[in-house]
Amino acid sequence: MKQPATLAAPPAVRLGLQVAVAAQSPVRQADLAARIALAGHTLAGISEADVVLADGAAPTVLNLPVLRLAVGDDDDGSVLPPSLTAAQLDAGLRAVAAGLRVSLPEAAAPGFAEAAPSRPLLTPRELEILRALGEGMTNKAVARLLGISAHTVKFHLEAVFAKLGVASRAEAVAKGLRRGLLML
């Protein structure tokens, strides 16, 4: 009798980046690690990192892009203010990891912290689901990837649609791209 064919497991999709932290104090290092997790990324050592998030002065790291959180832009590296939301941090890390330089124009810098919402627009789980939508995944595939039920994915999708003010998956991805919530 012939054995039934088995389905191969889908390839692992890594939605977040591996981020190393460079900070002067252990307290600030812990704060940045928590913010990295909120932005949907994983804390990593220098040898596994895709990008370095530095507090203040830029560390010398060979062959790794660095995003500095500091007030002012006194060098030609990527610098953003420390008061970033999780979505803004996510966008900055992804841009720097892709080889882009990020900074705020001087005119925009003072109002940047004031314009930041008091809480992120989407929860970390909703961001994961939105990013999976951007990869073209079905609800079942997202459920398998995240280890949750398809019903839970649908529940989160409804919340994403409501928060973004959209009615379809395509609109959600398009709005997520425009707002910097995901990068394709």
How many C-beta neighbours within 10 Å does residue 148 have?
A: 16
Stated as kind and residue range, the H or E segment containing 18 is: strand 18-22
Beta pairing partners, 53: 21, 67
For residue 150, pLDDT over 90 is answered with: yes
Mean pLDDT of 50-60: 80
**Residue 67: which pLDDT band, with cuts at 50, 70 and 90?**
confident
Which DSSP category does 177 fall into?
H
CA distance 95 to 78: 10
| pTM, full prediction | 0.50
The whole-number pLDDT of residue 184 equals: 58
CA distance 122 to 115: 17
Fold agreement (18-115, 124-178): no
Mean pLDDT of 2-8: 54
In tens, the pLDDT along 91-148 reads 889 888 888 888 765 434 444 443 444 445 788 899 899 989 988 999 999 999 999 9
Token duo for residue 146: 């995240």
Looking at the domain that runs over 124-178, which CATH code has it been given? Answer: 1.10.10.10
For residue 151, pLDDT over 50 is answered with: yes
The residue ranges of every structural domain in the chain are: 18-115, 124-178
SS3 147: coil
**The listed CATH number (3.40.50.2300, 1.25.10.10, 3.30.2350.10, 3.30.420.10) that belongs to domain 18-115:** 3.40.50.2300
The whole-number pLDDT of residue 143 equals: 94
Token duo for residue 179: 């707002």
The string of DSSP letters for 34-96 reads: HHHHHTT-EE--TTT-SEEEEESSPP--TT--EEEE-SS--SSSEEE-TT--HHHHHHHHHHH
